Amino acid sequence: MAPRKESARVAQAWIELESEDPEAASALEVARTQLTAGRPLRRLRRLRLVELEGRLPARAQLEALLHGSTQFYNPHKERCLVRLQATDPTPLHEDERAVLVIEREGSRRVAAERWWQHETGEPVRVREGTAWALTFEPHAGADALEELALVRGRRHGLLCNPHSQECRWAEREVPLPWLGPAAPPPADARPARRKSNPPRSKR
């Protein structure tokens, strides 16, 4: 019997290197030594966030498809956690705050979409962004996350260049979906803070 297809929905895959991430380590060093907002930063992790939208199969087949193709990640070097509902856990720790960075012109993964349709016969929309997980010291101010995320000069911001990227973060909860069409940059290329508030679940 062919696998049952469900109605259109979104699946979220969180992908992280198994070994130490040189890019995250370098960003942490720069933040702590060169940026005022980065001094209370204790830990910084980088994850790829991939979302698939369409008529998706049940979890077991969906995970098998993700794990079986390098279009999404390399299981020999990376780990992958899949969320199908907002109540599913994320790989974030309780003390981490999440920032999502999206390329304004490059969030779609067309090659992955073609591969998926070839394998399943179903069209799907695939988007990808970079999720940064930040842990601050308890004394860090409420605005430390925004100050560190958005680049506004040589000594202000690190993770998102508002001229070419969009920055989103979850205040209390990690949305599903979280990726979507990037908003056009404002005239001064300093986008307003985009908040996200669906139910957050953590392991």
CA-CA distance, 53 to 44, in Å (whole number)? 29
- By the 8 A CB rule, do 40 and 137 touch? yes
**Which residue matches tokens 């990726």?**
179
CA-CA distance, 1 to 95, in Å (whole number)? 45
Burial class (CB in 10 A: 0-12, 13-18, 19+), 149: buried
Angle of helix 59-67 relative to helix 110-120, nearest 10 degrees, comes to: 120
Q: What is the pLDDT of residues 178-198, one digit of tens each?
A: 997 654 444 444 444 444 544
What was the pLDDT predicted at 187?
Answer: 45
Q: Which bin fits 189, alpha (ψ -120 to 50), beta or left (φ > 0)?
A: left
What was the pLDDT predicted at 202?
Answer: 45
Residues of the chain with pLDDT under 70: 1-7, 171, 181-203
pTM metric for this prediction: 0.83
